Amino acid sequence: MAHTVVMPQLGESVTEGTIGQWLKKVGDSIEEYESLLEVLTDKVNAEVPSPVAGTLSRVLVEEGAVVGVGTPICEIAVEGEAESSAEAAPEPVETKTPEPQADVEANAQPAVPKESDEGRGRYSPAVRRLASENGIDPSGLSGTGSGGRVTRNDVLKAVDEGTRLSPVEAREPVSSAASVASVPQVAGASANIEDGDEVVQLSQVRKMIAERMVRSKMTVPHAWLMVEIDVSGLVSLRNRLKEEFKAREGVSLTYLPFMLKAVSAALRKMPMVNAQWNGDSIVMKKRINLGVAMATERGLVVPVVKDADRLSIIGLAQATQDLAKRARSGRLTMADLSQGTFTVDNTGAVGTVLTYPIINAPEAAIVTMESVVKRPVVVGDMIAVRSMMNCCISFDHRVVDGAEAAQFLGELKKTLEAYTTDSTL
Amino acid sequence: MAQMTFLEAIRETLRQELARDERVIIYGEDVGVRGGVFRVTEGLQADFGEARVIDSPLAEAAIVGTAIGAAVNGLRPIPEIQFADFIFPAINQIVQEAARMRYRSNNDFEVPIVIRAPFGGGVRGGLYHSQSVEAFFGHVPGLKVVIASTPYDAKGLLTQAIADPDPVLFLEHKGLYRSIKGEVPEERYLIPIGKADRKREGKDVSVIAYGLMANLALKAAETLAGEGISVEVIDLRSIRPFDKAAILESAKKTGKVLIVHEDNLTGGFGGEISAVISEEALFYLDAPIMRLTGPDVPAMGFSPPLEHAFMITADKIADAARNLAKF
């Protein structure tokens, strides 16, 4: 008997995900807990482990399809048990490919997403040809084939019975589950392709990042501020402790845990920044869960340090190192990637001194920590060489006003500037 | 009209051609005095003499090689390879010489030979008397490969093969020799090589087969008819050339194709048929093109269970066609 694998609950509030890449092909054998496929949700991809050992016998959902939690996505034939794909096989799921809506008027009434539970998204060439020749939507037919498949005869029967749909109906666009209903969208300028140019197809991760970024930029009114922070004390503190810390804790002491600690403290004082826009209300988040943006070979990921406000510098150092290690090896779980309430972007790691980050919606703000650079600054009435770091914030101006954002950065600055060589962790 | 076995139909065809055309000669291992190991040529030496029905040395390369020479010099030799399993020593003569002579000589020479060879298993032949060799020769341009499934077809196709100006490999499934009977007209008639025969009309699934498999497919079709599944059986009758038009017509009609051969799966002729269908009838297909073939094992075992495991049966065809119909 084949074991049916369903779309797992990838996070508390996650109701659907995009099938990224099947890591196993039909016919491949798979161990229990071995990665079966990648599933993409907001800004991230997670690998779904196999619940059983066996052979992948059927893939029910193609790459790129958006499927709800609990939907059958594949079947695994368990060794020693007879295969029976014919009986009680779950119906394949209809693909809901997000389509960009170019027509502004279409947005006046948000289209209702098509029911996907009818399944049978896969049709044979004969079915597709006959359906198209006769203007029939095969998804409207009840299939008599194996697993409810719509067969050629089903289409021919429908033609006989004259169950024709009007051409307009038949070509009704499938609404994107991820489309933003309330904002007019126009098609972006298309690329100018010339001889010698290479056209690279989008990976699922790239698509997801693109969609999330466009969505955030188009729906969230971004505002931006920056402060300069004198981190000379922090630099000397780190220099004093880093050897000992590395030997004792096994992980390097970077500026990141200090930043996270300072951000947590600032968010506690300024809870309005730790909030989310909710249409007609604002959700004040109770927990302080800090997403940390990390660049990996697979693309941008934002693992989350949960309850960062309860962790010490040591705890934060260990938590972030652990996440970074797993992000690089692609071992992040969905739990690692969800429930963020605020994002910290360590852009300084790539050498910048000023960034205008895109908010990780629905969070209300994102803050960057830029490179620590020595600069001549005026201290009292003297010019001194100090270690300076810029912090930039992009914030959702619907939730937070400039004064609050500046106040938040001020708290950050106060905490980070308070460190001295002699501070204790 | 006379009822004949498959074997008798071949013998009577040979007799008719020997009588009709004195250029026709038969030779091979034990074909004369003994009348062939299967008795196909029984009595022919007595009727036509030692000069025209000749016992040859046990040397397949020489049998085919001398037949080529005789053919180039004006005779119409019908050499017999005692078992198709033994044809491999003659492959060089068949592939490099017979099949290419016309091309190489720019039409100056032709090789009108018919190489007869019993093939196939299911008769307790073991490793060296059960093989299917058609895929090896179906690959060779310049050669024709004919495989009949009924006594009637056997006569018409063999007569045509003898009349053909180019080399023909005429494969006879041992399992058919005495197991099937059919009406065979006495007069001479020709069945063109390269024309398939729709042995049964159906609308749900097409089974494409040849030789013994076509007969088994008909049995399976009968079984499935009782279950309300309508199976069409296309008997190819020759695999080089093969009847593309008939295959495509049937594939387009039913949208579901099962190809059956006893030869091994990998590199078997079914792959070629499948490729042609997918190249030219993709948008008519309602299911994957399926193959039911002998397994990829080195040879058919001698023990009955091993032989049974290897052989295609009407039940196995019915199962495969049923699954395809349900798809």
We report the CATH number of the domain holding residue B101 as 3.40.50.970
pLDDT in the model for residue A24: 87
- The reply to whether A186 falls in a domain is no
Same domain, B168 and B21: yes
Helix ranges, chain B (H):
6-20, 44-48, 60-72, 91, 101-104, 134-138, 151-163, 212-225, 244-254, 269-280, 304-310, 314-326
Same domain, B60 and B10: yes
Is B285 in Cβ contact with A125 (below 8 Å)? yes
Residue A188 has pLDDT above 90, yes or no: no
* Cα-based angle A110, A116, A119 (whole degrees, multiple of 5): 155
- The reply to whether A252 falls in a domain is yes
B230–chain A Cβ distance below 8 A for any pair:
no
Residues in chain B with CB shorter than 8 Å from the CB of A146 are: 326-327
Same domain, A68 and A129: no
Lowest-confidence pick of A22-26, A273-277, A301-305, B217-221: A22-26
Of residues A147 and A420, the one with the higher pLDDT is A420
B282–chain A Cβ distance below 8 A for any pair:
yes
pLDDT in the model for residue A141: 85
Give, for A275, the enclosing helix (H) or strand (E): strand A275-277
Residues in chain A with CB shorter than 8 Å from the CB of B283 are: 125-126, 128-129
CATH number for the domain that contains residue A398 = 3.30.559.10
- The reply to whether B42 falls in a domain is yes
Q: How far is A144 from chain B (nearest CA, A)?
A: 8
- The reply to whether A178 falls in a domain is no
pLDDT in the model for residue A185: 55
Query: How is residue A272 annotated by DSSP?
Result: G
Is B323 in Cβ contact with A126 (below 8 Å)? no
Same domain, A299 and A370: yes
Residues in chain A with CB shorter than 8 Å from the CB of B327 are: 145-146, 149, 151
Residue A75: phi, psi to the nearest 5?
-125, 140
Residue in chain B closest to A147 (alpha carbons) equals B327
Residues in chain A with CB shorter than 8 Å from the CB of B287 are: 124
CATH number for the domain that contains residue B294 = 3.40.50.920
* B287, B323, B326 ranked by CB distance to A124: nearest: B287
Residues in chain B with CB shorter than 8 Å from the CB of A127 are: 286
Q: What is the pTM of this model?
A: 0.53
Alpha-carbon distance of A286 to A304, in angstroms, equals 15
Same domain, B176 and B208: no
Same domain, A31 and A150: no
Q: Is the ipTM of this complex over 0.85?
A: no
- The reply to whether B318 falls in a domain is yes
Q: How far is B218 from chain A (nearest CA, A)?
A: 23
Same domain, A142 and A282: no
CATH number for the domain that contains residue A132 = 4.10.320.10
Same domain, B7 and B119: yes
Task: Using only the alpha carbons of chain B, give its radius of gyration.
Answer: 19
Residue B292 has pLDDT above 70, yes or no: yes
Which residue range is the domain that position B266 belongs to?
Answer: 197-326
Same domain, A277 and A159: no
Lowest-confidence pick of A52-66, A164-178, A191-205, B58-72: A164-178
Same domain, B178 and B125: yes
CATH number for the domain that contains residue A45 = 2.40.50.100
Query: DSSP characters for A25-54?
Result: -TT-EE-TTSEEEEEEETTEEEEEEPSS-E
* B286, B323, B326 ranked by CB distance to A124: nearest: B286
User: Per-residue pLDDT tens for A202-244?
Assistant: 877 788 888 888 989 999 999 999 999 999 999 999 999 999 9
Of residues A69 and B219, the one with the higher pLDDT is B219
- The reply to whether B192 falls in a domain is no
- The reply to whether A206 falls in a domain is no
Same domain, B158 and B274: no
pLDDT in the model for residue A116: 39
Average of pLDDT values for B107-120?
97
Positions of A annotated as catalytic residues are: 397, 401
Q: How far is B322 from chain A (nearest CA, A)?
A: 12
Domain boundary at B184, B209, B230, which?
B184
* A125, A145, A153 ranked by CB distance to B282: nearest: A125
Identity at A86, one-letter amino acid code:
A
Same domain, A129 and A272: no
Residue in chain B closest to A146 (alpha carbons) equals B327
Query: Smallest Cα–Cα separation from A218: which of A107, A292, A301?
Result: A107
Lowest-confidence pick of A205-214, A256-265, B104-113, B229-238: A205-214
Place A64 in a pLDDT band, splitting at 50, 70 and 90.
confident
Same domain, A338 and A288: yes
Is A152 in Cβ contact with B283 (below 8 Å)? no
B286–chain A Cβ distance below 8 A for any pair:
yes
Average of pLDDT values for A185-195?
78
A151–chain B Cβ distance below 8 A for any pair:
yes
- The reply to whether A85 falls in a domain is no
B109–chain A Cβ distance below 8 A for any pair:
no
Residue in chain B closest to A151 (alpha carbons) equals B286
Mutate to test the interface with A, among B283, B290, B324 (most CBs of A within 10 A): B283
* A128, A129, A145 ranked by CB distance to B327: nearest: A145
Same domain, A166 and A304: no
pLDDT in the model for residue B286: 95
Report residue B319 as tokens: 């199962």
Omega before residue B79 within 30° of 0, cis: no
User: Per-residue pLDDT tens for B65-74?
Assistant: 999 999 999 9
Lowest-confidence pick of A328-332, A379-383, B212-216, B227-231: A328-332
Place A140 in a pLDDT band, splitting at 50, 70 and 90.
confident
- The reply to whether B191 falls in a domain is no
Chain center to CA of A78: 32
* Cα-based angle A185, A189, A193 (whole degrees, multiple of 5): 150
Lowest-confidence pick of A80-89, A114-123, A377-386, B158-167: A80-89
Residue B282 has pLDDT above 60, yes or no: yes
Q: What percent of chain B has pLDDT over 90?
A: 99
pLDDT in the model for residue A82: 52
Same domain, B223 and B103: no
Same domain, A119 and A8: no
- The reply to whether A86 falls in a domain is no
Same domain, B166 and B252: no
**Contact, A48 vs A37, CB < 8 A?**
yes
User: Per-residue pLDDT tens for B1-17?
Assistant: 889 999 999 999 999 99
Q: What percent of chain A has pLDDT over 90?
A: 42
Positions of B annotated as catalytic residues are: 129
Place A300 in a pLDDT band, splitting at 50, 70 and 90.
confident
B283–chain A Cβ distance below 8 A for any pair:
yes
Domain boundary at A77, A100, A132, which?
A77
Average of pLDDT values for B280-298?
96
Domain boundary at B135, B154, B184, which?
B184
User: Within the 292-321 window of chain A, which residues sit less than 8 Å (CB to CB) from chain B?
Assistant: none
Query: How is residue A298 annotated by DSSP?
Result: T
Report residue A164 as tokens: 């024709």
Same domain, A156 and A17: no
Mutate to test the interface with B, among A87, A133, A151 (most CBs of B within 10 A): A151
**Contact, B135 vs B165, CB < 8 A?**
no
Same domain, A154 and A225: no
User: Per-residue pLDDT tens for B20-72?
Assistant: 999 999 999 999 999 999 999 999 999 999 999 999 999 999 999 999 999 99
- The reply to whether B189 falls in a domain is no
Report residue A311 as tokens: 């962790």
Place A137 in a pLDDT band, splitting at 50, 70 and 90.
confident
Residue A10 has pLDDT above 50, yes or no: yes
Residue B187 has pLDDT above 50, yes or no: yes
Same domain, B24 and B125: yes
Give, for A218, the enclosing helix (H) or strand (E): helix A204-219
Is A152 in Cβ contact with B255 (below 8 Å)? yes
How many domains is chain A partitioned into structurally?
Answer: 3
Place A119 in a pLDDT band, splitting at 50, 70 and 90.
very low
Q: What percent of chain A has pLDDT over 70?
A: 82
Same domain, B214 and B306: yes
How many domains is chain B partitioned into structurally?
Answer: 2
When the pLDDT of each residue in chain A is averaged and rounded to a whole number, the result is 82
Same domain, B206 and B152: no
User: Per-residue pLDDT tens for A379-412?
Assistant: 889 999 999 999 999 999 999 999 999 999 999 9
Residues in chain B with CB shorter than 8 Å from the CB of A149 are: 327
A128–chain B Cβ distance below 8 A for any pair:
yes
Residue length of chain A: 425
**Contact, A151 vs A143, CB < 8 A?**
yes
Same domain, A238 and A119: no
pLDDT in the model for residue B87: 98
Which residue range is the domain that position A69 belongs to?
Answer: 2-77
